Amino acid sequence: MKHVDYIIVGNGLASIAFCEKLRLHDKSFVVFDNQSQQSSKVAAGLYNPVVLKRFTKVWKAKFLLELAIPKYKTLEDLLNVKLVYKRPVYRRFISIEEQNDWFTASDKPILGDFLSTSLIKNENPSIDAEFGFGEVLHSGRVNTTQLIESYTEFLKLNDQLINESFEYEQLKIQKNILQYKNLSSTYIVFAEGFGIKKNPFFNTLPLNGTKGEMLTIKAPNLKMNFILKSSVFIAPLENDLYWVGATYEWEDKTHAITSEGKEELIQKLKKIINCDFEVVHQVAGIRPTTKDRRPLVGAHQTHKNMFVLNGLGTRGVMMSPFVAEQLYDYIENDTALDKEIDIKRCQ
């Protein structure tokens, strides 16, 4: 029977960040992944320190960014791929009142580091923005699809990936050891995203799950090198391709794309840009969201060698390195978790 220090269930952003902590400290591990959860793969990977709908700062924004971006740079070197694209987010104004709201928010000390006080005039004829833009600083995009694909290959090369569903009923729990088929481990970490709903050990946690549909469009005349936020986000990719998203659906919990989602995004897009475009791809995923917008991290109430790492919602790029460090130090160094992410708040 093969023994590892950790079994990790799931292979999204949180899992990758935790695996990197394990590698850094020479811990042995395997990762179970059946590709059933799509939220990290289909996300745009935007990192943005401001909630632009309400002009409020993302929780721990400055600290999270200072921790996260160097981690992704390290992954670029490890995987020999480009992941981090530093790009400004431009908030499109639709009125003088919105401009005034922006400048009022930018005067607040808590937002001063992130909101530019300069009004940017629209000089792109393909964008309808007569009232201009406000610029969000310290923003950009991480290519999460490339990250997960490349990290999956890295795990395969190192014989650390088990490409199958985890069968919970096969897990035998003892005080100091866990047994699963031909494996034994000291600890197990569930980082399954919305898949946690099928997990008998953590399925009572208040994770809601919000479906989002996204489009990739080809727009040769758009020529946009920034991330545009209006009723939807538009993010430049490569080769005249742009990511457009996303919808928010609270009832449908499937990964199926819909004509309704596509039409909603197209209609919103047509109110922002006036050039021709072609939809070349459509995807859907379930965001692992919580009501208080805080991650779910911690140990099982009964089984103290069993842990959860989940609930990153729309902020996975920014939050995953932080929650991974929190959980690692909690397990290995007996350090207390940040109270706002500890699942004890839900019990």
3-state secondary structure the chain: CEEEEEEEECCCHHHHHHHHHHHHCCCCEEEECCCCCCHHHHCCCEECCEECCCCEECCCHHHHHHHHHHHHHHHHHHHCCCCEEECCEEEECCCHHHHHHHHHHHCCCCCCCCEEEEEECCCCCCECCCCCEEEECCCEEECHHHHHHHHHHHHHHCCCEECCCCCHHHEEECCCCEEECCEEEEEEEECCHHHHHHCCCCCCCCECCEEEEEEEEECCCCCCCCEEECCCEEEECCCCEEEEECCCECCCCCCCCCHHHHHHHHHHHHCCECCCCEEEEEEEEEECCECCCCCEEEECCCCCCEEEEECCHHHHHHHHHHHHHHHHHHHHHCCCCCCCCEHHHHC
Q: Are 43 and 146 spatial neighbours (Cβ–Cβ below 8 Å)? A: no
Measure the CA angle with vertex 294, ends 14 and 342; round to 5°.
80
pLDDT of residue 343: 96
Kindly give, in sequence order, each residue whose CB lies less than 8 Å from that of residue 109, ignoring residues fewer than 6 positions away: none
pLDDT of residue 83: 96
pLDDT of residue 42: 61
pLDDT of residue 38: 59
**Domain range 210-287, CATH class:** alpha beta
Measure the CA angle with vertex 161, ends 157 and 167; round to 5°.
165
Q: Which residues of the chain have pLDDT under 50?
A: none
Using alpha carbons, list the distances in angstroms from residue 201 to 10, 204, 205: 15, 8, 9
Q: How far apart are CA 332 and CA 321, in angstroms?
A: 16
Q: Which CATH architecture has domain 2-43+145-206+291-346?
A: 3-Layer(bba) Sandwich (3.50)
Look up residue 298 and give its two tokens: 């911690």
pLDDT of residue 149: 94
In the chain, which segments carry CATH 3.30.9.10? 210-287
pLDDT of residue 26: 98
pLDDT of residue 171: 97
pLDDT of residue 255: 86
pTM of this prediction exceeds 0.85? yes
